[in-house]
Amino acid sequence: MAVVAGVPFLQILLENLRVQGVAEVVLGTGYMAEQIENYFGNGASYSLRIRYSREHEPLGTGGALKLAEPLLNDPVVVLNGDSYVEWSLAAAKELFDKNGASLVMVLQTVPEVDRYGSVTVAADGRVTEFVEKGTRAGAGLINAGVYLLRKEIVSALPAGKAISLERDVFPGLLGGEVYGLVAQGIFIDIGIPADLERAQILLAT
C-alpha cells in the first residue's frame, strides 16, 4: 500500500495485469490485510475480479501460494507485491507452451546482482543455476519476482508450513523444464527507501 506516483503500489501492479488481459486476481494478504481488502474490494472498480487469501501467520512466498491453492487456475501467474518489472504475459505464455515448461520466471539484467542473487540461463533459455545474494557481484540476470507455473508445483507443497519459493522450491526444479524470460524495461524493487523514492519518478504516468 506504499504510495507511488499518487496511488498504492499494488494498484500499479494490478493495472499492469489488467492491460495484459488478466481478469481474475487472488491477493495473498497478511500484514494490513483489512486495509488492502477494504481499498480494492471485489475489484470491480479496476475491471478485475479480486479474491483474497489471508495469512494468519507468515508463510513465505510458497506457503502463501499453497494457502491460496483452492482459488488458483492452472497455470497460475505469481507476482511479488513489492517489485515492478515491465514484462509480457503473452511472451511468457508462448515460452511456457513452446517448451512444455513447468515454470517460466521473468528475469532482469541489472548492473549489480549482489543485492538480489543471480540466475544463470543456457542459450535455449533454460535456467541452470541460482546463485545466492552476496555470492557474486557485477552485472547479470536476477529473478524479477514474476512467475508462470503449473499448479502441480503448488499442489506438491506441504500445507501450513512457511516455505520460500525462491530458496526451498525453485532450486529443486532445476534440471526440469524451467525457463527464463528476460525483460527489457523498467525494474524496481521498492524494498529500500532509495528505490521507493526512485519509483516515484520511474512509475509516474
Q: Which residue is catalytic, options 66, 93, 98, 133?
A: 133
pLDDT at 194 over 80: no
Q: pLDDT tens, 116-161?
A: 889 999 999 999 999 887 677 788 899 999 999 999 999 999 998 9
What DSSP string describes the chain? --EETTEEHHHHHHHHHHHTT--EEEEEEBTBHHHHHHHHTTSGGGTSEEEEEE-SS--HHHHHHHHTGGG--SSEEEE-TTEEE---HHHHHHHHHHHT-SEEEEEEEES--TTT-EEEE-TTSBEEEEE-TTS--SSEEEEEEEEEE-HHHHHTSPTTS---IIIIIHHHHTTSSEEEEEE-S-EEETTSHHHHHHHHHHT--
What CATH number does the domain located at 3-202 have? Answer: 3.90.550.10
Q: Name the percent of the chain lying above pLDDT 90.
A: 62
The whole-angstrom distance between residue 115's C-alpha and the CA centroid of its chain comes to 17
Q: pLDDT tens, 157-184?
A: 999 899 999 999 999 999 889 999 999 8
Quote the cell numbers at residue 30.
Answer: 497478511
Which pLDDT belongs to residue 5?
Answer: 67
- The pTM of the full predicted model, rounded to 2 decimals, is 0.91
Contacts of 128 (CB under 8 A, 6+ apart): 120, 121, 122, 174
* Beta bridge mates, 108: 142, 183
Q: Is 133 a catalytic residue?
A: yes
